[in-house]
Structure 1
Amino acid sequence: MKPEYLFKAGWRVFFLAAGVWAVISVAIWTVWLTGLAQGDNITGVAPQLWHAHEMIFGYAAATLGGFFLTAVPNWTGAKAAPERFVMLVAGLWLAGRLAVCLAGMLPAAVVAAVDLAFLPVLAAKVLTQLMARPKAQNMMFLLLITMTWIGNLLVHLEWMGLADTEWQGLRGGLLAICAMIAVLGGRITPAFTRNAMLRAGIDETRMPVSHRWLDLPGSVLPVLLALAVLVGAPDALSGTLAVLAGLFAAARLTGWRALALPGEPIVWALHLGYGLLALGLAVWGLALLGLGSELGALHILGIGAIGGMTLAVMSRASLGHSGRALIAPLPVAIAYGLIPVAVALRWAGSAFPASFYLPGMIGAGLVWCLAFALYLGALGPIFFAPRPDGGAA
């Protein structure tokens, strides 16, 4: 392994950081749940709020950094970010994690300033790269990054004692990232499936099918939902939007040939993540309308949609951009399969709180940590290694 390669591309450092933080942060949360860690707060923030914040604005934000610093130059032909910039934004992300962890020892305004610095700097770089070939369908990601940042801002406003917007920000940030998955997943899932089917020699008449009358609302509704939550819309409106978004996501998925390549986990993992997005949106919407557990539904989105889709994309991008075959190593394939197990355990912990609350939550945490430990064990060396073919990092 050669540490000097870590900052040669955004996917390297951020996909490594996302995996490491996925394990560390959930391990801390799980230890607290067992009662081995005492106290009513973690690092100055209530445990459940620290956990939620770090999953959304720590783990998921790291995946955004790796994805956009890698994908946007490919979309536009712009020059990739230099090593010094990758080091800068990685440092800002890490500083945010440290600031939140030390929230009990630092002024709330300092914690906010440090933690809120990462996404604007990332967005500025994405903007300069998108301007090389501006397209509306790509520029919209700046809106989604901004919405994610606003969600974090709303959390910090309450931590500073200036507003009562903590849960609004957490939900809004979560749903803004889900909106990115709806848009990006709607592009890459059928496209990557088609490519794999062609490589497998499957007849072109059986390729994935997309319909504009499904794709447009399937992309727009999740964005509107995130906006509604960020502005504090009534639950009836947000719930209705969520149910509709989930139904359209499910309808889109039916045409993408999810079962065409059962022997290729790196393909079906994308379908699994998108399917959990559809399920999570619909179930969360129903919960807002009075049917079912809202926390259980939020974790279908957080663990299943965000965790599952980011794991699928990170592993695929790491293999592809490192010059390796797009074949998921066995530990990574197992990790894909563990994500719905974690979802089921966490949902059961909310659905049956009297008998299964702690076992479900602790079990979900352990399964999540195992999934990302497998990911790191299998792909971790790639982040520090040159391409086997000698190509660019």
Structure 2
Amino acid sequence: MTVALKAKDRRNHPLLAEGLMLFFPAAALYAMLSPLMWVTLFGFALPFARAIPSTQWHAHEMIFGTYGAALAGFLTSAVAEWTDTPPRKGRTLIVLLLLWLPGRIVGLLGIEPLVGLAGLTDVAFLSMLFWFVLAPLLERRSTRHASFAVWACLFVLLEAGIRIAWLVEEFDLAGRLLQTSLYVFLVFFALAVARINIVVINLALDPSGNTTPYRPHPGRQNLAASMVAIFAATALVFPNSQVASYLALAAAAAFFDRLAEWFIGAAVLRTQVLALAGANAFAGGGFLLIGLSGLGAPIAIGSGVHMLAVGSLGLAVTAVFVIAGLRHTGRPLILPRAAHAAIALMACAGLVRVLPELGIGETLIGMHYAVAALLWSSAFGVWFIGFIPLFLKPLRHEGCQ
């Protein structure tokens, strides 16, 4: 009887109640650890990496490691709300986490002999996540959120493609697939924020939640995501064409246009509102730099890519961790100090990583990699320390989608 009760208690643990309760802390822990080890312990190299460039390992673990876990937490919780189906919980989440974990150990150290094995577990992890998105849509016979299933399926294909490219030493192709994976995350970000922002802005305008004075502009909801998708496909298939550069500028314009949705008066000064606006601004700036670089401007394309990876997605993920972390533990959207600090640190990480390469703060050149990595790790560390007590003692469940 005692053993049975203990097993039941483990299944009912707060961190196993829904996907974000487990995967947001996992993503934060990995985000804290990986840059610190890469910069401070390994000196921008990896102990077992030989043929595969360390920069590609680094990019892969940021995208499929940290952001992959964040995506798993978001989708396993949000899709259940969108479709009014039971959330994934308990042992199912543990299995999903165990599929995610081997790739992180291999990627953290760059263990090349295990590239294939880690690829199998990562593909299994993403395939399981894809099914968790698709199954509720099939159950409800709904196509409203089918785009998330399509993009989740694309992640499976991209991960498989990257691993195969590594195994056959096609590193140029692997690099293009990694960039495409980053752009697909930007599509997810654009689609998700179009939904989250409605709740966040309405609560900023009326904290009581009794009224919903804000209505999003229908034309802006999917425009940025669509432009990123067209750009990503063109850049992958025609890497040397200037057409992709013009499409990058169009994607930048779409993200900058979305900033009009934050013209809501003094309520825009709330940290959670600024964070989502800032993530859009970083996205617009990143695509602007990529477009200008491709058209011959003296700008490294890597500056634009890092503005997207660190600035836009880093800030967006931190904001979602804060917003969903409060709402899904039954707390009002009143940010604790840890939330303000985490968002500020992540914004600084994005700026420090890119601005010195654009001639602003050039004295940091060379050091800016390490400083940005420390700020990035600190942002997730502050969030984890501030929010894990809330996750362990939720008050009640209150969705935010």
Identify whether the pair has TM-score above 0.5, normalized to the shorter chain. Answer: yes
The amino acid of 2:230's aligned partner reads: L
The structural deviation recorded for 1:289 is 2.2
Cα pair 2:47 2:110 within 8 Å, conserved: no
CA distance in structure 2 between the aligned counterparts of 1:39 and 1:180, rounded to whole angstroms? 29
Shift of 1:303: 0.9
Question: Shift in Å at residue 22 of structure 1?
Answer: 0.8
SS in structure 1 of the partner of residue 148 of structure 2: helix
Tell me the distance in 1 between the aligned counterparts of 2:134 and 2:71: 14
Q: Does residue 316 of structure 1 match 2:323? A: yes
Task: Identify if the C-alpha distance between structure 1 residues 161 and 357 changes in structure 2 by more than 3 Å, giving closer, same or farther.
Answer: farther
SS in 2 for 1:82: coil
CA distance in 2 between partners of 1:153 and 1:71 (Å): 25
Query: Out of 241, 244, 268, which is 2:247 matched to?
Result: 241
Does the 8 Å contact 1:258/1:268 carry over to 2? no
> 10, 17, 25: which one pairs with 2:26?
17
Q: Could you tell me which of 76, 80, 85 is aligned with 1:69?
A: 76
Question: What is residue 51 of structure 1 aligned with on the other side?
Answer: 58
Which whole-Å CA distance do the structure 1 matches of 2:296 and 2:127 have between them?
A: 37
Between 318-327 and 345-354, the greater mean CA deviation after superposition: 345-354
Structure 1 residue 389: deviation in Å? Answer: 4.4
2:162 to 142, 155, 166: 155
Task: Assess, with a 3 A threshold, how the Cα gap between structure 1 residues 108 and 93 changes in structure 2: closer, same or farther.
Answer: closer
- For 1:41, give the aligned amino acid: L
Residue type of the alignment partner of 1:25 = S
Give the SS at the match of 1:146. helix
Residue 134 (structure 1) shift: 4.2
Whether the aligned pair in 2 keeps the contact of 1:345 and 1:364 (CA below 8 Å) is yes
Residues 389 and 383 from structure 1, CA distance in 2 versus in 1: closer, same or farther, beyond 3 angstroms? closer
CA distance in 1, matches of 2:396, 2:86: 21
Q: Does the CA contact (< 8 Å) of 2:38 and 2:44 recur in 1? A: no
- Bigger CA drift: 50-59 or 160-169? 160-169
The 1:184–1:357 alpha-carbon spacing in structure 2 relative to 1, beyond 3 Å, is: same
1:41 corresponds in structure 2 to 46
Query: Which amino acid is the alignment partner of residue 381 of structure 1?
Result: P
Between 1:290-299 and 1:135-144, the stretch displaced more is 135-144
> What is the rounded CA distance, in whole Å, between the counterparts of 1:137 and 1:363 in structure 2?
42
In 2: Cα distance, 1:391 partner to 1:143 partner: 27
The equivalent of 1:8 in structure 2 is: 17
Hey, what does 1:279 align to over in structure 2? 285
* Root-mean-square deviation (Å): 2.7
Q: Are residue 377 (structure 1) and residue 385 (structure 2) matched?
A: yes
CA deviation after TM superposition for structure 1 residue 298, in Å: 0.8
Aligned 8 A contact 1:148 1:172 in 2? no
The farther-off stretch of 308-317 and 285-294 is: 285-294
TM-score by length of 1: 0.89
Cα separation, partners in 2 of 1:379 and 1:222, compared to 1, 3 Å: same
Deviation at 1:214, TM superposition (A): 3.7
1:365 and 2:370 correspond: no
Q: Secondary structure at the match of 2:242?
A: helix
Comparing 207-216 with 289-298, greater Cα deviation is found at: 207-216
The answer to whether the Cα contact below 8 Å between 1:157 and 1:165 also exists between their aligned partners in 2 is no
Output aligned runs, 1:88-167, within 5 Å.
88-101=95-108, 103-104=110-111, 106-161=113-168, 163=170, 164-167=172-175
**Does structure 2 retain, via aligned residues, the 8 Å contact 1:174–1:302?**
yes
3-state secondary structure, aligned to 2:266: coil
**Structure 1 match to 2:263:** 257
CA distance in 1, matches of 2:264, 2:281: 10
What percentage of aligned pairs have identical amino acids? 25
Instruction: State the alpha-carbon separation in 2 of the partners of residues 102 and 363 from structure 1.
Output: 21
Please list every run of 5 or more consecutive structure 2 residues that lacks an aligned counterpart in the other structure.
1-8
Cα gap change, 1:275 to 1:189, in 2 (>3 Å): farther
Q: Deviation of residue 363 (structure 1)? A: 1.0
Structure 2 residue aligned with 1:344: 351
Change (3 A) 1:191 1:106: same
Q: 1:270 aligns with which of 253, 269, 276?
A: 276
Identify the range of structure 1 (223-232 vs 306-315) with the bigger mean alpha-carbon deviation: 223-232
2:48 & 2:122 partners in 1: Cα distance?
Answer: 15
- Give the aligned residue type for 1:369: S
C-alpha deviation, 1:268, in angstroms: 2.2
Structure 2 Cα separation of the partners of residues 368 and 391 of structure 1: 29
Q: Distance in 1 between matches of 2:286 and 2:364?
A: 20
Matching of residues 170-185 of structure 1 within 5 Å? 170-185=178-193
Asked if structure 2 preserves the Cα contact closer than 8 Å seen for 1:189 and 1:271, the reply is: no
| Preserved contact between residue 349 and residue 358 of structure 1 (Cα < 8 Å) | no
Given the superposition, is the C-alpha separation of residues 354 and 90 from structure 1 closer, same or farther in structure 2, using an over 3 Å criterion?
A: same
